[in-house]
Amino acid sequence: MDRAADAAERTGIEEIFVIGGEARGATPFAELLQSDGEAPNVDIDPREDLVVLPYSSGTTGLSKGVMLTHHNLVANLCQFAGSHHVSEEDRIVAVLPFFHIYGQTVIMNNGPYRGATVVTMPKFELEPFLQVLQDHRITRAYVVPPIVLALAKHPAVDKYDLSGLRFIMSGAAPLDAGLASQCEQRLGVQVIQGYGLTETSPVTHCTPDDDRARNKPGWIGPPLPNTETRVVDWGTGESFGPNQDGEIWVRGPQVMQGYLNNRDATARTIDEEGWLHTGDIGHADQDGYFTIVDRLKELIKYKGYQVPPAELEAVLLSHPAVADAAVIPKADQEAGEIPKAFVVRKGEVDGDALMSFVAERVAPYKRIREVEFLEEIPKSASGKILRRVLVERERSKR
């Protein structure tokens, strides 16, 4: 409350509401229930006026305010409903933060919109999470890759009855195909992947939930209804066909108005024809299903070769002694950059053994050249690896 009051005073906010109690200078949320329910007439343009101002994750640079309108969010809910058929019979666990656009749109807004029950948790802790899945007979879990990793490998999972769970969707970061398959086999549920950005409200691609036979582990699925997608050569702007890697561009009603007070960043992200340049590299197959290879800005450039960190992280995670991993570029006088891995161990293994393990499974130029062990990989609240933090840590050593 002290922080909320200070922020309100600085920004001209007229009223603060508190939930679950009372606080001096604030109105209890319960008082809203005492009104007659008549909605006031407000003078807004849903296509132009902002409803939320989430901030981009900052994993590759400074955070920027993303201007999303009422039309952006409502459009994305309607688009998402074309792929995910949530109903009043569903019970959804809400473990993702609602200030993040994934939790906000896919759970906080979509759950009530479709009449589903939403069970909220203050934060992710594995055993309380499993307890909620069991006790509330959760049917749908919208999560991030670290949670899928725990569900696939942690021994505690076997202590709980998760038979009510039918469906898991992972987003916010790439999900390794092998890990998705492991989770499916262990729990007997459908595990799919979606894709989007804060700048697109967020969902642009998702595997449909009603055709399990077409689910492709490691793929983000086709574009949502009314979403156009191009795969483009990031050097020339030439459009690519199926099975050719390029930058993913998207266009649709879910695309933001721009970045708050940052015209230059907006112009670099959305071109004159309305295409949003995602900065993500991927391709489509012959069926129109897309996969993401990595972030354009996060590619490691080793002697001119481009090395995707996510590929090396997936290989490391397949090692039985590795609990978590992140790979970053490290400056090197000869090569320009080399891949360095940060690893959280769950068994006995040394750096040389892990480098050999990866070398046997990737092209020579992709080999990891250095390993450092950590207690924990830094991640955002939405589960993205904060490689920027690790890069800055590496630079500080020099």
Which domains, and CATH codes, for the chain? 2-34 (no CATH), 50-295 (3.40.50.12780), 299-397 (3.30.300.30)
Tell me the per-residue pLDDT of 240-293, one tens digit each, with 9 for 90 and over: 999 999 999 999 999 999 999 999 989 999 999 999 999 899 999 999 999 998
Task: Specify the DSSP element, H or E, that contains 281.
Answer: strand 276-284
User: Model confidence at 61, in pLDDT bands (50, 70, 90)?
Assistant: low
Residue 189 structure tokens: 């549920």
Q: CA-based diameter of the chain, in Å?
A: 72
Q: Is pLDDT above 70 for 57?
A: no
Q: Is pLDDT above 80 for 70?
A: yes
Q: State pTM to two decimals.
A: 0.80
Residues 186, 190, 195, 198, CA torsion sign: negative
| DSSP category for residue 239 | B
Portion of the chain with pLDDT greater than 70, in percent:
98
Tell me the per-residue pLDDT of 6-18, one tens digit each, with 9 for 90 and over: 999 999 999 999 9
**Which residue is listed with tokens 């207690």?**
375
